[in-house]
Amino acid sequence: MSYIIITASSDKTSEQRCKDISETLWTLQRPRAIRHPRDVTNRFCGIVVHNDNRAALTINEYDIIRLHAQLDTTELFESMPEYTDEKKALVSTLLAENQGGSVIVSEILPDSFVYTTHEEMEEDGWFPDTDI
């Protein structure tokens, strides 16, 4: 398992940004417009929170996201200001070409995101539950 630590923004905590990104990734697979009112699932990946309030997405570089034919990229780009214009264009093309199919998650996330291993996270003070 690997992780992506998400920095806080001026108006959102790291944890809130993680939740937003996880929800946004889920909209690629299950767009809000086609969801049933009784749908329960609303996030793609898990979140871990450090004692110092940093939060990280629990996500593997090669996790697969299935893409709905009616997906909309607006929310995706709004949730991650880390996207460069060049990457936005690449991702838009990739998603359009693969609607109804699937993509590898690392191909559509911003290039500045860093995948951190479990061991590296532990060394950085994450997962204190191992000491209970």
Assess contact for 66 and 29: CB atoms under 8 A. Answer: yes
Shortest distance, position 37 Cβ to other proteins, whole Å? 11
> Using the rule CB under 8 A, is 53 a contact of other proteins?
no
> Using the rule CB under 8 A, is 43 a contact of other proteins?
yes
Q: Per this entry, what is the length of the chain?
A: 132
Helix (H, G, I), strand (E, B) or coil at 86: helix
Span from 8-16, 41-49, 76-84, 87-95 in contact with other proteins (CB under 8 A): 41-49
Q: Using CB atoms within 10 A of its CB, is residue 105 exposed (0-12), middle (13-18) or buried (19+)? A: buried
Residues that bind other proteins (CB under 8 A): 1, 22, 26, 29-30, 36, 38-46, 48, 58-59, 66, 68, 118, 127-130, 132
